Structure 1
Amino acid sequence: MDQLVAPPGWPRAVRPPGAPGWEQSAVSWLLDICPPEFRGYPVLRRHDVVLARFAVLHVEACQAAARRGLSEARGVLRDVTDQDTIEAAIETWHAESARLLGERRAVGLVEEALAGKRFVARL
């Protein structure tokens, strides 16, 4: 029997590729990280690889929004709040950017696995 391997960055909520029910755990996780409206599209419910592609693009759009928020924070917020709040907002954008970086890796790995890629253990 082949060893089940989940590569570094694999989401904890998703069973390793090849494990019983791993695809369903992947679909559930993908739907959880996407906007709730995605649950209403039949094509995304029936085709896990299509759902994964939508999830990748959604996370990438969130990354772009975080970059924009970070780049605009001081200029946009200076007339509506104090400097301490602006710095806290910037720290929040940095934290969100880091979270999204991990999420992008995870969703990309799930997309690859749903498309048939199998991962092997490395020494």
Structure 2
Amino acid sequence: MSDSAYVPAGWPSQVRPPGAPGWERTATAFLLDCCPPEFRAYPVLRRHPVVLARFAARFVAGQCTTAQDGVAEIRIGLPRSVPPQVVTEAVEAWLEQAAHLLRVRRAVGLVEDALRGKEFVMPL
């Protein structure tokens, strides 16, 4: 497969397409970047990209939940402590982060699917 192989929307730009030379190396680097730095210390994660993908997927899913919880907490817990404009800005920051994390979650999921052997086919 070449570098121009089809990848679906949401595929991370820093990961080469599945089958391209070195694609698993770029996938591993991307997945490690989605995880806490401490994950780099586990040889099993560096040697087995599918295992790393599962760890990354769970970690990012947890971050997505935290972002959702953060929005609710800000709306409920801050109004008595800061001016309304600050609450609005804080909610906007959480919403922006939540949107980013949803994109990361999709990208991690696509990479995990590819590492498990899924082939992506361009829709007709």
Report the TM-score range of the alignment, normalised by the length of the smaller protein.
over 0.9
2:80 & 2:23 partners in 1: Cα distance?
50
**Which residue does the alignment assign to 1:36?**
37
Uncovered stretches (5+) of structure 2, i.e. residues with no partner: none
CA shift, 1:79, in A, is 3.6
Uncovered stretches (5+) of structure 1, i.e. residues with no partner: none
Give the number of aligned pairs. Answer: 123
Identity %: 54
CA shift, 1:41, in A, is 0.9
1:15 & 1:98 partners in 2: Cα distance?
24
SS for the counterpart of 2:31 is helix
CA shift, 1:78, in A, is 2.5
Partner deviation per Cα, 1:11-69 (whole Å, 9 max, x = no partner): 00000111110000000011011110100111111110000000000110000000100
CA shift, 1:122, in A, is 2.1
Q: TM-score, normalised by structure 2?
A: 0.93
Q: Write the letter of the residue equivalent to 1:103.
A: V
CA shift, 1:97, in A, is 1.1
**Which residue does the alignment assign to 1:9?**
10
